[in-house]
C-alpha cells in the first residue's frame, strides 16, 4: 500500500525548505541600575551580612522585611536558610549564626 502525503503537509514542507536559515544574533542589553539608597546599620556581624547578602540583593530588601515577629531569630534563620536552599546563596554554614544574630538584633 502506498501512503500519500496530504497536500497541506507537502506545501508546508516546501515552504520550510524554501526558508533561508541564517543565524540570528541578539545584541546584549545593559541596564543602568539606580544607586543604592539604603545602608546597613552598624552592628556586630555587619561584615558577614555585607559579604553574604548584598551581593545578591539590595539593603532595601532586608530593611523592608515584615516587622513584629514574635521570635526574630526564628524568622531570620528561616529567611537565611531559604536564601541558601531555595535560591542557592553561597553562605558558609559557619556564617549563618552571625548573619541571623545581626539581622534579628538590628532589623
CATH-assigned architecture of domain 38-107? Orthogonal Bundle (1.10)
Cell, residue 10 = 507537502
d(CA 107, CA 14): 65
Please report the pLDDT score of residue 24 as a whole number.
Answer: 72
Nearest residue to 103 via CA among 38, 37, 59: 59
Mean pLDDT, range 91-102, rounded to an integer? 97
d(CA 14, CA 5): 13
Share of the chain above pLDDT 70, in %: 86
Please report the pLDDT score of residue 16 as a whole number.
Answer: 67
Domain residue spans of the chain: 38-107
d(CA 19, CA 99): 57
The contacts of residue 49 (CB under 8 Å, 6+ apart) are 40, 62, 99, 102, 103
Q: What is the pLDDT of residues 30-89, one digit of tens each?
A: 888 788 788 999 999 999 999 999 989 989 989 888 877 789 999 999 999 999 999 999
Q: Are 102 and 46 in contact (CB under 8 A)?
A: yes
d(CA 89, CA 93): 11
Q: Are 73 and 104 in contact (CB under 8 A)?
A: yes
Amino acid at each position: 500500500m502506498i501512503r500519500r502525503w496530504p497536500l497541506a503537509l507537502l506545501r508546508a514542507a516546501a515552504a520550510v525548505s524554501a526558508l533561508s536559515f541564517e543565524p540570528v544574533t541578539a545584541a546584549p542589553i545593559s541596564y543602568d541600575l539606580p544607586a543604592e539608597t539604603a545602608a546597613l546599620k552598624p552592628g556586630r556581624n555587619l561584615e558577614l551580612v555585607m559579604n553574604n547578602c548584598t551581593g545578591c540583593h539590595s539593603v532595601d530588601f532586608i530593611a523592608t522585611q515584615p516587622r513584629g515577629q514574635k521570635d526574630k531569630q526564628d524568622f531570620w534563620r528561616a529567611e537565611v536558610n531559604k536564601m541558601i536552599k531555595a535560591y542557592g546563596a553561597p553562605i558558609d554554614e559557619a556564617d549563618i549564626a552571625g548573619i541571623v544574630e545581626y539581622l534579628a538584633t538590628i532589623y
